[in-house]
Amino acid sequence: MHSYDDILQKITEILRPFVPQGQAIAEETDLVADLGLDSLKVMKILETVEDSFDILIPLNVLPDIRTVKDFALQIQKLDGDGQ
């Protein structure tokens, strides 16, 4: 199981190539409104996250993920569940 800080750091690393250069990524950063991620980018990010943490992210949780913090908490929950 990964710590929240480790998950947050890894998510930031994964998001970096998908956001405009110089765009800050913080816990309260909105993935769509602030980073402008479209559905294709989101799917690529999900795939990378799943591979990095060896988890499966169910599509039905996506509506609950708006910010980087939401994403990290969801990964932490899935990682803790052993999925």
pLDDT in tens, the chain (83 residues): 899 999 999 999 999 999 988 899 999 999 999 998 988 999 999 999 999 999 999 999 999 999 999 999 999 999 986 44
What's the predicted TM-score (pTM) here?
A: 0.88
For residue 57, CA distances in Å to 13, 23, 43, 60, 81 come to: 18, 26, 11, 9, 12
Give strand pairing partners of 30. 67
Q: Find the Cα–Cα–Cα–Cα dihedral 78, 15, 50, 7, rounded to 10°.
A: -40
How many domains is the chain built from? 1
- Here the CATH number for the domain that contains residue 41 is 1.10.1200.10
Q: Residue 72: give the domain boundaries.
A: 4-81
